[in-house]
């Protein structure tokens, strides 16, 4: 079941790379490739496994303002790139794991880096996995994915004084009266300067959407790991309500997708245009550096 170099590449990287722009966009959960060996071991049908996807988020990002967009091709239920490499469930494997495992709340919920559960809390696998499978998936996809993100952000920071990672996700409609349609996660102020997040929030509000910060989603491993405002790398997670752009039964784009794509494109253009002024601001001291505390 392990990833092989002859199979589908683990991601698509589009746009102008190598530090041409200060912004990098990632979509770790929109992959739709399910390796045949994985499907053979799964107890769930493909239609059920697909419910775990951030459906077609990558389609919202195609050609967005020319900035680099890194989109996973492999399914989230096969490997979750927005989890730490050690978020492994030892009980999912048929022998002791040959690498560190640090079970936490997400692992206990069945949502580790190699998930045990799909949507609706259903068990993915019919039997335990070979212990070597964990190391194989992590080495083939997880490690190089995050290394590529770090390299792109490093080049952007070098060329522009600071860099911004936008980690794109989608969410089911939240519960409650007038729930948010857009949720911005900056790890409660730890992964990005507040001025960046405020600009993003104002943009989405001006587009007519309800916006929340850090609730119910404050940011996952990607924003925690790569967001280092004190070092000039900022990371913000964006959650888009699927009802804005997706037919959630057919997993196809609706007419609303054009509006979402337009708003995202306009946001990126606004951030790029404002970046020189942001970088010229107080990189050390109040403002940018405070978010690293």
Instruction: Give tens-digit pLDDT for 27-38.
Output: 999 999 999 999
Domains identified in the chain, total number: 1
Least confident span in 84-88, 147-151, 276-280: 276-280
Residue 16 falls inside a structural domain: yes
214 pLDDT above the threshold of 60: yes
User: By percentage, how much of the chain surpasses pLDDT 90?
Assistant: 87
Residue 4 in any domain: the answer is no
pLDDT at residue 293 greater than cutoff 50: no
Q: Is the pLDDT of residue 287 over 60?
A: no
pTM strictly above 0.85: yes
Domain membership of residue 44 as a residue range: 11-82+130-292
Could you tell me if residue 98 is inside a domain? no
Q: Please report, for the domain that includes residue 19, its CATH number.
A: 3.40.630.40
Domain-embedded: residue 120: no
Whether residue 234 has pLDDT greater than 80: yes
User: Is there a contact between 253 and 202 (Cβ–Cβ < 8 Å)?
Assistant: no
Say if 102 falls within a structural domain.
Answer: no
Model pLDDT for residues 159-213, shown as the tens digit of each residue:
999 999 999 999 998 888 899 999 999 999 999 999 999 999 999 999 999 999 9
Q: Which two tokens stand for residue 44?
A: 């769930």
Length of the chain: 293
Assign residue 85 a region (left: φ > 0; alpha: ψ between -120 and 50; beta: otherwise): alpha
Which position has the token pair 């041409």?
20
Per-residue pLDDT tens digits for 30-63? 999 999 999 999 999 999 999 999 999 999 998 8
Question: CA–CA separation, 246 vs 266, rounded Å?
Answer: 20
């Amino acid at each position: 079941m392990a990833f092989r170099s002859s199979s589908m590449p683990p991601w698509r990287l589009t746009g102008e790379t190598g530090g041409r722009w200060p912004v990098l966009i990632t979509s770790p959960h929109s992959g739709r490739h399910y390796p045949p060996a994985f499907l053979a071991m799964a107890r769930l049908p493909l239609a059920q496994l697909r419910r775990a996807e951030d459906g077609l988020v990558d389609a919202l990002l195609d050609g967005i303002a020319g900035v680099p967009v890194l989109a996973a091709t492999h399914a989230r239920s096969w490997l979750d790139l927005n989890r730490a490499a050690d978020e492994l469930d030892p009980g999912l494997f048929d022998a002791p794991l040959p690498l560190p495992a640090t079970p936490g709340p997400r692992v206990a919920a069945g949502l580790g880096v190699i998930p045990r559960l799909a949507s609706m809390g259903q068990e993915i696998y019919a039997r335990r996995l070979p212990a070597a499978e964990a190391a194989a998936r992590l080495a083939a996809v997880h490690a190089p994915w995050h290394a590529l993100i770090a390299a792109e952000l490093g080049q952007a920071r070098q060329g522009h004084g600071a860099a911004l990672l936008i980690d794109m996700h989608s969410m089911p409609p939240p519960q409650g009266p007038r729930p948010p349609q857009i949720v911005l996660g900056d790890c409660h102020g730890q992964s990005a300067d507040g001025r960046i997040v405020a600009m993003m929030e104002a943009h989405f509000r001006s587009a007519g959407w309800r916006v929340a910060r850090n609730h119910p989603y404050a940011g996952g491993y990607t924003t925690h790991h790569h967001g280092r405002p004190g070092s000039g790398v900022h990371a913000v997670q964006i959650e888009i309500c699927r009802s804005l752009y997706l037919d959630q039964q057919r997993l196809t784009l609706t007419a609303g997708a054009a509006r979402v794509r337009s708003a995202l494109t306009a946001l990126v253009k606004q951030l790029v245009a404002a970046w020189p002024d942001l970088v010229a601001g107080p990189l050390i001291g109040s403002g940018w550096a405070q978010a690293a505390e």
